[in-house]
Every structure is written in structure tokens, then in C-alpha cells.
Structure 1
């Protein structure tokens, strides 16, 4: 099924049900459907055709939601761009995917103007009334929404591209991940199955819609006919908690940085978010101490540890009942997916043996936009089953191990492994020990060039207790780690370096450390 059909069908079945809550505004399914019809007509009238790319350069707002479905209704491909993206990166994306249109916000128009330069063949619509600071072709988004609503007969099918989502660019220039309608539908169906979602769910999302974890909260909610409460950020947790209680939210997606913020709040009482049914976490594994604290604060709430990557959305999940048995595992393959570990020779790895994780399923991307070299590197024939010679599976580039019962454990990125004193160290192992210290809120570990050691282990640490010293951290590590795994240096900071999507960046931490050396 094509994604826009989710909205169209629910507008027919439950027109008056609340689909979206944003600040003090509420939109029914019928209203979202009508607004997106109007914008789709404007896009078509301005030359947007089937399979054209359209950038949605916005933060979390109702206009972004309307834009996404309008683009799909026009038969085009949406590409969500993080609102913090700077002009040079936006210019790269524009040159890479050659969009037919850009939909944006007033405050972001200067970035769009700088990125476009002299280009005048790209349709631009903004919440800002066009003025001398805008590209000459810019129009008002509000004016677009006044167009006559009509169905666009584009002839698209579900194997057409639905979205082009750019990776965060943690290594080099960002790559455009190509996902079809069928890919997106398969991922959303699988996730909502194991989360046991229903139309009665009310999901609160603070994660950027430009981040696939945040984007899928929208896609899954509309697919279900549920309600999405959209917030711009988690900067003020108490306000978010009040929103959860007021809207009777049942599902709350988290990332580790959000969990770390909750861990530092001392006035929270068990059951303070009593309407929640489930909490999810991905982007990186939660430290065991954070899991235990969340379980204490949210009794009766199902906590799902998950693992995924942009190239296939989601790979694994840990059934909540397994948290007490194997809290450091990211679980098993999501429904209708195969996830297995291979060794260096391409054979299935033995239990406990570290190797590369392979993903096989209908949600695996089509490849990277106009980047055949990188596509061939990560999409290759199935090395184990070899059932379909034409099929390509996803080589994640992540190191995993599986236990005797098949539960998977993230070890690290292949590129992240630190080679020190002739030994290989997975940063995650050191980070797990750091997170176990009660005075440490967050930590990230990197390897820095060293003439003697090859690489020296360096840790960036956010303290929850300002009295914590470097010596105490190193002593703590020495008590729990082998000598060669103990960090050589500790750098205290107020917050860890993060990507545009809010994910802790090991690359940025390493660059910062090298700059200070």
C-alpha cells in the first residue's frame, strides 16, 4: 500500500478523530487529509510530478506533517531535512537529489536562499510571506493551502520511492537512503506488531521528523488511525511530562540522551507517568543502570530496547519480559525479518563469536541515491542461505554476537574498534563500565592516535556529581576492566557532542579531543 493511503483511508473511516496534536492546535483526520489535498494540488500546479524529489526543511510542526502527505499525494518523493542543517550541507543535498520543490519555515528561509544561490527553477513555499530576502520563486505556504483540494492522478504504485532520507553524515558527506512505499509499510507493520499498537494509542514524539525514529512515529500513527502528539524537543522535560498526563499518552519513544536527562531529575516519583503503556529506546543501547531506574520510575510500563539503522529502519527488539534476564541485549529480529551474525569468512558465526550483523527483510533500502559504489558495499548477496541469487541483503557494518538462544548483542561499529597495545577494544564495553558509576550521567569513548600505544583510549564524561574527579573515574575503570581497556584520559563536559539528530557522535568527540591535543 502507498503511504498516503493511510491518511486517505482513515479520513474516510474516522473523519472526526484527532490525528495530530501540536501545541494548542488539534487536527482531525479529515482536516489533515483536506490540507494535504490542497498542498498536493499546488505542488502539481507548479510542476511537481511523479518521482520528483521534494525537500521538507522544517522542525516538528503541523506544516511538516501536511507537507509529507501532500508530496506523496502528488506522486513525488519526500526528503525530510533537519531544521538545524546549515546552508553548505543543504546545498550539497540540493545538488545531490535535484529537488523540484522545497517546503520550509520562515526562520529557515535565509538558509534556503543561501543554499540555492542563483538557482531559480526550484519551487519554494514557506510560512514566511515572500519578500526581498527570499528567492524570487518563493510563495507563501498559507496561500498554497488555500488552493482547491483535488485528487492528483499520478499513477504511482507501492514500489515507487516514497522517501529519500539522508544519513546524519557521521562519516563524510550524507548519503540519501532510498525507501519505497512498500519498504516503509513493511517496517511500520512490523514495529506496530511487536509494540501491540492499536488505534486507541496516543503517541508523543519529541524526536525530529527528519530522524527516521521520529518520522516513523508519524507514519505508524497514521497507519494505525491513532493519535500523534508532536513536540519540538525534550529541552523542558517537565513540560513534556505534563503533556503526557494531559493527553493521556500511551507510547513514548526515547533516545539515550533523553533517558540520561531523566536520570538526573531527582524529584520524580514512581508512577509519575501513569497513562503510559510502553516506552521504546533506540539510536544506542541504554546503560543497564538507566534501564533499572526507568523500570523503577515507570512500574508496569513495557520498556523496549531496540536496534536499527536508517538503511532498514528497525532490525531487532528485546521483548520486555527479557529485560531482567539479558538487559544488555538488543533482542531478536523484528517480525518478518532475519537478523544473523557472520564471521570473516561469510559463515554464520558461532554463539559468542563476534561478527558482522546481516539483515534480510522487505524493509531493507533500495540503495543510496546516485551512489552505486556505497550501495554495492552494503547490499550484497545473502552469504548464508543463498536461496535467491538475485536478492541483496544488508551488511550493517556493525559488530554483534549472539548467545546460545539467539539473542543479539551490539559490540560496536567496525570502524569504531580501538586498537591499543596490540589489543582490540570495543568502546561500548568501556562505556558500559563508565555508565555503571552512579556519578556519571553520560559517556562516550574514542581512540586517539598515540605514538606508543597505537591508539589511546579517551573518555568524554558528563557528571551528575560535580565532585567526581578524573582519578576516581580511572580507578573505577581499573576495578572493572582489563588494563589495556582503561581510559588514558578523561574529559569532563557539560554535554556530549551530538549529530543534527541528537545522537551522540563518536566522530565529533574524537575531532574535539584531537583539536585539544
Structure 2
């Protein structure tokens, strides 16, 4: 890579070329620094209940003491957390990290099959799950290493009388909490109370200790745990923090809307961790899919920042009442997780008066790798500039650098790049080369000012509302259904979610219907992975060695008549 790094000349004023990677020795030292400075400031809010930095400190210490003193966990043990955004989440993750343990974030929408794979693969010995998904947990934990289950209701930390009312409505009115039974399970609040009986020992936490096992799909269809160390996350907090600080953020006073789930790396780092470092208030939205409710909530919050994916912004813009919100306090809108569409960005600027700034990252980069200048006047179609202490280059198929303006595979190097995939050295070697470059699988080009633009994806990955969907997993599930001969899954454009899954199926039993396939997928795949389009074929295009040519299928025009919706 040329050493001039043209992006430096495009950096916003005040953003350094490198960050001080020695300032903090763990995520906890960043947290403790925030607690020292902002102890009485609000840290997290949900359903109207606010927890201060001091309260997060106390409660996370109680949870850590429970894990170490009561459950006798040892440094490095894995704790799986399966919850939507709620006050229990920051208490739990900071408690797990205080105890020198590793957080395994779990998508609460997983089916029992998907959850079981992640529990077994991570070797988690503890599972914390919200009641809404207790039935999934009860089916999945058998034959895993999970020895302890902690359960909680969504309203449990909200206080009286609102908390019990929330739990009652969810279970008996909205019917969102099926009955379940897990032998020996402990309630979250009981765990906190038990933690008070134990002194929290000093735990030696080092920068290279694994803080999070953050699962991401693989081209093989098997979800892999990206090992994100304290160093990775601290570096990304420093990098993103410097970038955002150039946007006139006021330490201790910012309010960020956290609608993306904290189990997703984008919200985990950009919202929870970065704004914790800045002493901000994370306003947790538990159910952003309820757009009218979400908009109603936004009307009462003087928020200064919001992050999201294209589909979230598009949904808000198309919800009655959104344009009537007072946006006078809004300073920053950051989009990532999937491509931001120009039409959405233009409409966002028109309605809110604030530019929708696009960023780029991966689970494997903790996640931020490139961010556009926060003072961008208009949406520019780029994923931005490599952030402080980050190198980027574009390579061709032979590993040679490509010229400015030419397309190559985007490769990233920096302190935020993962340690590797958990217990998968072969998979790690496929993406991390000997020189430390992470090969992203995304095809991009760079202009003379150092701005990068994504052109296409090298992988067959499908991106649904910011979530990675890998064709092999879909194909493996459907191929396991009676009456199916062959199946190929591809992504097709979708106005609502960016892309959606389409499957081409060759039947062994001609009586198999699209509805039967969809029902089977509902049992085995979480919502965003389920095919929205099913097309039956007599045969699938293949190479001379029999490999199905997904690319040919993906490039075919959509034929509504042949598509089952």
C-alpha cells in the first residue's frame, strides 16, 4: 500500500491520524473512568426508567459477584446473553466483563436449532434469557455445556408499578411470553441479591483477553464466533470517539437513540460502549418494529444522536408523525450495517435537517473501519475514510494492489481487527493473511481523496436489514426437508429490507408446495433468514464439477408469475 494514505488529507479538523492505544487497559477501565466522571448522570433509559452511571456500577458489580462467588465461574468462561434492548443488558455485559468472563451475544429471535449450535460452539456455561424466549432456551439447552440459566422479565428492572404492568401485558394481553419451564433457573433480580453476599475479588483483565464472542455467519453456513478482545473494543471506542468528538459533542450530555439491538456489534460498540465513554445517555428501544410506538417515544426525547440501518430510517420516514418531531437537538445520524440508499438519505436530510452519514464495518472489525466525516453536508454514496490507526487497501485476485479508481477486494488492518474465529483456525486463515490484513470479501474502489465506495460483494452473502444471511445455511435447512432434491439460495432486491432471500427448488416430490417450505423454514430459521420468494425449477445451473451457479440465478430477472409470495 502506498504510504501517503490519501484519506488523511480528507480527515475532519481535529481528528488525529492515530489514537492512544495505551490510555486504557480494558473495557472496564473505560467504564470506570466514565463512572468517575459521570456517576450521577443518566446512563441508560428504558420504558421511562433511568439508571445512572453509579447505579450501573453497583448493579454490574453485584452481577459479577454472583457469577464468581455464587456460580464459581473461572476467568475466560463464556456467558450467553439472549435479550432485546432492556436495562438488564448493560448490567449483564458489564458484570460479565468485570468478572473476567466472555460475553456471548445471542440473537433472541434464534430458533432452538440456531441457539443450540451457538451454545455448543461457544461452550457457554451460563445463559441469561428474557422470558419471551424462555421456551426456545428450554428446548435448546439439552446436551449443551450450560449449567446455569438466569431468566428475567422485560419489565423487571423498570420498577413498581410500571415493571409488573409491562410483564403482565406482554404475557396475558399481547401473548408474547409462552409458558416454559427450566429446572433450577434463577431470576435476574435474585442473582443480583445473591451477588450482594459476596465480595467481588480483583480480577486481572488484560487487553488480549477475549471480551466478546460475536457470532457471524460463514460462507460455509456455520455461524462462527469472532474473538473480540478488550484491545479490539477499546481501540474502536477510541477511534470512533475521536471521530465523533469532532462533531461538537458535549461530554456527559448527549442522548443517543439505541433502536438497533445491543446484541448486534454496531449498536454494542457505537451506542453502548462509545457513548458510555462519552458519558452519554443510551435511550434503549425494546421494540423498534412498532414504528408508531417508536415515533411516539421519540417525540418526548430531546435526542442528539441516532444510529440505524437503512430499513430503520426508511421505516421512520414512512411512519405518520415522524416529520412532526422536534429535531432541533439532533446533531448526528449514523447509518451502517447495510448500504444506505440515496433516496432515504436525501429524505432524512429534508425531514430532519441532519445529514445521514454512512459508515462501514464488520463484526470482525469491532465494527468500525471507515466512517464519513461527521460534518458532511450531503450524502455522498461513500462508506467513508479509514478511521484513525486504520489502514485500508484494495487487492486483486492475486493479492496485488490495484490503482486508484479501480475495483479490488477491500482489506483492513488495525487494532480493532479480531483475534480470529473461535476454535476455527482454518476459517481464520481464510480471512486474516500473514501480514495482518483482514480480507473483507467486499469489492470496493477508492477515489483520489481517500474515500472508499463499495461496488459489490465477493461473497454470496445476502444482507437482510443489516443482518448477514449465508446461502449455505438456508440450503442446508431446506435440503433436510422431505421431498426436496436440490436448492439454491440467493439475495434479491427488496424495497423494505435491502435484500431478501429467494430460493430455487428442485422437487423430488412434485406435491411439495411453497407454503410447506415456508412453514418448515419458520420452524428452523429466524425471521430475516426465511425465504420470501420460492421458485420451482426442473434443474439448477451448475459448473462442470457440479457446483451450483448461484451467480447465474442471482442475475436472472425476477419473474413474478413464477414466484411464490
- Alignment-derived partner of residue 34 in structure 1: 58
Match of 2:193 among 146, 151, 155: 146
Displacement of 1:168 in angstroms is 4.7
Superposition TM-score, scaled by structure 2 size: 0.71
CA RMSD of aligned residues (A): 3.2
Change (3 A) 1:38 1:139: same
Secondary structure at the aligned position of 2:26 is classed as coil
The answer as to whether partners of 2:307 and 2:334 remain within 8 angstroms in 1 is yes
Q: 2:257·2:283 contact (CA, 8 Å) conserved in 1?
A: yes
CA contact 2:120–2:145 (8 Å) conserved in 1? no
Offset at 1:27? Answer: 0.5
Cα distance change, pair 120–279 in 1 and its aligned pair in 2 (3 A)? closer
Output the CA distance in 1 between the equivalents of 2:54 and 2:308: 29
Q: 1:268 to 1:231 in 2, by over 3 A?
A: closer
Taking a change above 3 Å as real, the CA distance of residues 108 and 267 of structure 1, as seen in their structure-2 partners, is: closer
Change beyond 3 A, Cα 1:404–1:395: same
Secondary structure, counterpart of 1:8 in structure 2: helix
Aligned partner of 1:186 among 231, 235, 244: 235
Q: Which residue of 1 aligns with 2:113?
A: 88
Shift of 1:406: 2.2
| Aligned residue in 1 for 2:212 | 163
Distance 1:84 1:288 in 2: 30
For residue 18 of structure 1, the aligned residue among 31, 42, 58 is 42
Give me the whole-angstrom Cα distance separating, in 2, the residues matched to 1:512 and 1:5. Answer: 51
Identify the residue that residue 259 of structure 2 maps to in structure 1: 206
Which residue, out of 113, 116, 128, partners 2:138?
A: 113
2:450 to 406, 421, 424: 406
Question: 1 CA distance for matches of 2:145 and 2:496?
Answer: 50
1:117 to 1:269, Cα distance in 2 relative to 1, 3 A: closer
Match of 2:332 among 262, 266, 278: 278
1:64-97: per-residue Cα shift (whole Å, max 9, x none)? 1111011011110001111111111111111111
Cα contact 2:124–2:146 (8 A) shared by 1: no
Gaps of 5+ in 1: 383-391, 418-426, 429-443, 447-454, 465-496
Q: Using the alignment, how far apart are the partners of 2:57 and 2:388 within structure 1?
A: 30
Instruction: Tell me if structure 2 keeps the 8 A contact 1:303–1:320.
Output: no
Deviations 1:241-275 (A, max 9, x none): 44334231111001011122134346654874222
* Alignment CA distance shift 1:262-1:133 (3 Å): closer
Q: Distance in 2 between matches of 1:463 and 1:120?
A: 39
Matches for 1:215-294 after TM superposition, within 5 Å:
215-216=268-269, 217-265=271-319, 268-269=322-323, 272-294=326-348
Report how many residues are paired.
Answer: 436
Structure 1 SS opposite 2:240:
helix
Cα deviation, residue 283, structure 1: 1.3
Q: CA deviation at 1:223?
A: 1.8
CA gap of 1:179–1:457, structure 2 versus 1, over 3 A, is closer
Q: Is the 8 A contact 1:271 1:297 kept in 2?
A: no
Q: 2-side partners of 1:408 and 1:500: how far apart?
A: 34
Query: SS at the partner of 1:415?
Result: coil
Rounded to whole Å, the distance in 1 between the matches of 2:35 and 2:337 is 33
Q: How does 1:422-433 map to 2 (within 5 A)?
A: none
* Contact 1:40 1:152 survives alignment (8 Å): no
- Describe the SS at the equivalent of 1:246: coil
1:293-317 CA deviation, whole Å, 9 max, x = no partner? 1111121x24311111110011111
Report what 2:90 is aligned to: 65
Q: In structure 1, the residue corresponding to 2:256 is in which secondary structure?
A: strand
Deviations 1:366-390 (A, max 9, x none): 00001111100000033xxxxxxxx
Give the deviation of 1:119 after TM superposition.
Answer: 5.3
User: Helix, strand or coil: the match of 2:428?
Assistant: helix
Other structure's SS at 2:427 match: helix
Structure number with higher relative contact order (C-alpha < 8 Å, ≥ 6 residues apart): 2
* TM-score, reference length from structure 1: 0.77
Offset at residue 350 of structure 1 (A) = 1.0
